[in-house]
Structure 1
Amino acid sequence: MATIYDIAAKAGVSAMTVSRVINNTGKISDKTRAKVRRVMEELNYVPNHVARSLVLQQSKLLFLLITDITNPFYTTIARGAEDAAKKHGYRLLFGNSDENVDKEKDYIDAILATRADGVLIAPTGDLSLSNLERLRLHNVPFVLLDREVPGVGSDVVLGDTKEGARKLVEHLKSRGHSAIALINGSPTISSARLRLEGYREALKLNDLPFDDRYVLEMAFEPRSDLSEIENWLDRMTPPPTAIVAGNNVLAVEVIRTLAERGNRVPEHMSVVGFDDLGPYSEIDPFLTVIAQQAYQFGYLGMQMLVERIQERGESPLPWRKVVLPADLIVRRSVADAT
């Protein structure tokens, strides 16, 4: 593997000049800079970023840790985060926790080992507290996405998820529905708690009853076994006429379960949910959703992270919370109640 000394010898310059070209520092003529870069390409030189980070105390690496890369919401977040990182001269690494706090911890270990300059993270939930404290202990800046963690002071980018839940219930009420169920994420996740609050508030404001049997809380993740949803549908008596899903994954799984029972949406059951289904929504617009600004989640979160990195050694700014509004997109998955 070529070194800066090999490049210096072939280009006829000093090793210091090569270092300045690599790090884009110092006053070097365009001619010399071009010659050094040409030799670097000829020798297939790959900079040793670990050694470089030890000298500069900066790796120019950032990490995005999300909970489910197969979810179009998080895929779009990743696009926004990558675009913002590139704009500021950073390379971005990705990790996927699968809503698992232990897997999240493993990624935190990897982040510390690679000496990443900062982390943009959608935490698995309240149990992420110890993982985030490890980042803080090692002075690694981080920004939270989509979810807050009690006891953690940090910048955070959220959606107005409580208002979104209210909009979904009010839309169903406007179509004549009064028996409205909710399938939601774990109560250890802040966004799921807010969606439950919004659902309950909307029921109360619209003089609709709240029934514990109409609420199912489970993980925000894909599953092959739909028996838990099956059992929940069987327990609800009288059955609801509409279901609010806490995210797009749960919405799809409810629709799958209903289909296996011979129930069509919206003819037999109306279904609405949070977050769009990516390109599939454009091919066949079907599901009525609260669409969050996923790209802006990633882009703004990364902007905030870079600002935190750049302020090191200065008086820190107060923690910032950005709450992005969400839009109700009405499609074909809701029918009038009969």
Structure 2
Amino acid sequence: MVTIYDIAARANVSAMTVSRVINNTGRISEKTRAKVKRVMEELNYVPNQMARSLVLQQTHLLFLLIADITNPFYTTLARGAEDAARKLGFRLLFGNSDENGDKEQEYMDTLLKMRVDGLLVAPAGDASLPHLETLRRHQVPFVLLDREVPGVESDIVLGDSKEGARQLVRHLSENGHRRIAMINGALTVSSARQRFEGYKEALKLNDLPYSEEYVLETSFGPRADLSEIDRWLGRMDPLPTAIVAGNNVLAVEVIRTLNARGLRVPEDISLVCFDDLASYAEIDPFVTVISQQAYQFGYLGMQMLIDRIRNPEEAGPWKKIVLPSELIVRRSVKAVR
């Protein structure tokens, strides 16, 4: 393996001079710089990235930790984050917590050992607080995506979950629905809390009844066993005329459970949800959704993170971006009398 000492000997300069050429530091004449680079090419020298990082105190390596890689919202978000990172000269690694706090902690421990320059994270839930405090103690910049964590101050990119839920319930109400149920993620996740609050507020604003029997709190992530949803449907008497799903993964699972019971959407039960179902195009009918700007979540979050890394003294107060969403009406809601 070729070392900087081999290059120094061939170029007749000091090892320190070679190091300065590699890291683009110090004052070196253009003639000497060109000579060292020519010798590096002749010897096919590849710089040791880890050693270089120790000198510069920067790896140009970032990490994106998302909550559910199977969710089309997060895959599109990841695309936006990667595009922004590459444009700004950084490389991006990915991790998936599966909505699991223990798995999230394992990733946090790993990225601290890797000396990444910063982290974009969609936290697993409120219990992520100590994980994020550890990052703060180690001075690792981070930006939260999609979810807040009480007690954590940071840059953040959010959607307006409460307003989105209100729009979905209002749309169902305008189509004559009065028995509207909701299946949602755990209320220890801020986006699930806000969607539940929006659901209840919209029921009240539209003079619709609220019943705990019509609400199922579960996980936003996918599951192989749909029995929990099936038991929930079996407990409701009478069945709702419409269901609001807290995200697209839950919407797909509701459709599968209803199909197993011989019920159709929207003929028997109407369905609406958060986030589009691009990866589930085979499911018919297409679902009415609140569509969020998933790509912009990742792109803007990455820009904020890199700004903190490059200009820590000039970045100013923590920034909070709330991206508006859009109601896309398709064929999953049946008008009722």
TM-score under structure 2 normalisation? Answer: 0.92
What is the aligned partner in structure 1 of residue 316 from structure 2?
317
Secondary structure in 1 aligned to 2:321? Answer: strand
Q: Structure 2 vs 1, CA of residues 319 and 282 (structure 1 numbering), >3 Å: closer, same or farther?
A: farther
What is the aligned partner in structure 1 of residue 156 from structure 2?
156
- Superposition pairs for residues 197-216 of structure 1, below 5 Å? 197-216=197-216
Q: Structure 2 vs 1, CA of residues 270 and 6 (structure 1 numbering), >3 Å: closer, same or farther?
A: farther
Secondary structure in 2 aligned to 1:105? Answer: helix
What is the aligned partner in structure 1 of residue 70 from structure 2?
70
Secondary structure in 1 aligned to 2:182? Answer: strand
What is the aligned partner in structure 2 of residue 333 from structure 1?
332
Answer with 50-59 or 314-323: which moved more: 314-323
Aligned counterparts of 1:122 and 1:159: Cα–Cα separation in 2: 12
What is the aligned partner in structure 2 of residue 226 from structure 1?
226
Secondary structure in 2 aligned to 1:92? Answer: strand
Aligned counterparts of 2:92 and 2:301: Cα–Cα separation in 1: 13
Q: What's the offset of the Cα at 1:309?
A: 1.2
Q: What's the offset of the Cα at 1:330?
A: 1.0
Answer with 70-79 or 183-192: which moved more: 70-79
Aligned counterparts of 2:318 and 2:257: Cα–Cα separation in 1: 43
Is contact 1:192–1:246 with CA below 8 Å preserved after alignment? yes
Answer with 115-124 or 27-36: which moved more: 27-36
Q: Structure 2 vs 1, CA of residues 50 and 238 (structure 1 numbering), >3 Å: closer, same or farther?
A: same
Q: Structure 2 vs 1, CA of residues 330 and 5 (structure 1 numbering), >3 Å: closer, same or farther?
A: farther
Aligned counterparts of 1:288 and 1:215: Cα–Cα separation in 2: 20
- Superposition pairs for residues 55-94 of structure 1, below 5 Å? 55-94=55-94
Is contact 2:85–2:91 with CA below 8 Å preserved after alignment? yes
Question: What residue ranges of structure 1 are gaps of 5+ in the alignment?
Answer: none
Secondary structure in 1 aligned to 2:301? Answer: helix
Secondary structure in 1 aligned to 2:74? Answer: helix
CA deviation profile, 1:223-255 (whole Å, cap 9, x unmatched): 011111011101111110110100111000000
- Superposition pairs for residues 255-294 of structure 1, below 5 Å? 255-281=255-281, 286-294=286-294
CA deviation profile, 1:75-111 (whole Å, cap 9, x unmatched): 1111111111112211111111111111111111011
Q: Structure 2 vs 1, CA of residues 58 and 210 (structure 1 numbering), >3 Å: closer, same or farther?
A: same
Aligned counterparts of 2:91 and 2:192: Cα–Cα separation in 1: 32
Q: Which amino acid aligns with 2:101?
A: V
What is the aligned partner in structure 2 of residue 108 from structure 1?
108
Secondary structure in 2 aligned to 1:53? Answer: helix
Aligned counterparts of 2:222 and 2:335: Cα–Cα separation in 1: 29
Q: What's the offset of the Cα at 1:60?
A: 1.1
- Superposition pairs for residues 13-92 of structure 1, below 5 Å? 15=15, 18-20=18-20, 22-24=22-24, 28=30, 35=38, 38-39=41-42, 42=44, 45=46, 47-92=47-92
Is contact 2:67–2:96 with CA below 8 Å preserved after alignment? yes
Q: What's the offset of the Cα at 1:176?
A: 1.3
% identical equivalent positions: 69
TM-score under structure 1 normalisation? Answer: 0.91
Question: What residue ranges of structure 2 are gaps of 5+ in the alignment?
Answer: none
Q: Which amino acid aligns with 2:208?
A: L
Secondary structure in 2 aligned to 1:135? Answer: helix
Q: Which amino acid aligns with 2:330?
A: R
Tell me the matched-pair count.
334
Q: What's the offset of the Cα at 1:219?
A: 0.8
Secondary structure in 1 aligned to 2:255? Answer: helix
Q: Which amino acid aligns with 1:334?
A: V
Q: What's the offset of the Cα at 1:2?
A: 3.3
Q: Structure 2 vs 1, CA of residues 279 and 2 (structure 1 numbering), >3 Å: closer, same or farther?
A: farther
Q: What's the offset of the Cα at 1:28?
A: 4.2
Is contact 1:18–1:36 with CA below 8 Å preserved after alignment? no
Q: What's the offset of the Cα at 1:3?
A: 2.8
Is contact 1:21–1:36 with CA below 8 Å preserved after alignment? no
Aligned counterparts of 1:8 and 1:171: Cα–Cα separation in 2: 72
Q: Structure 2 vs 1, CA of residues 50 and 213 (structure 1 numbering), >3 Å: closer, same or farther?
A: same
Q: Which amino acid aligns with 1:148?
A: E
Q: What's the offset of the Cα at 1:22?
A: 3.9
Is contact 2:7–2:36 with CA below 8 Å preserved after alignment? no
Answer with 105-114 or 85-94: which moved more: 85-94
What is the aligned partner in structure 1 of residue 245 from structure 2?
245
Aligned counterparts of 2:299 and 2:251: Cα–Cα separation in 1: 26
Q: What's the offset of the Cα at 1:36?
A: 5.7
What is the aligned partner in structure 2 of residue 296 from structure 1?
296
Q: Structure 2 vs 1, CA of residues 298 and 226 (structure 1 numbering), >3 Å: closer, same or farther?
A: same
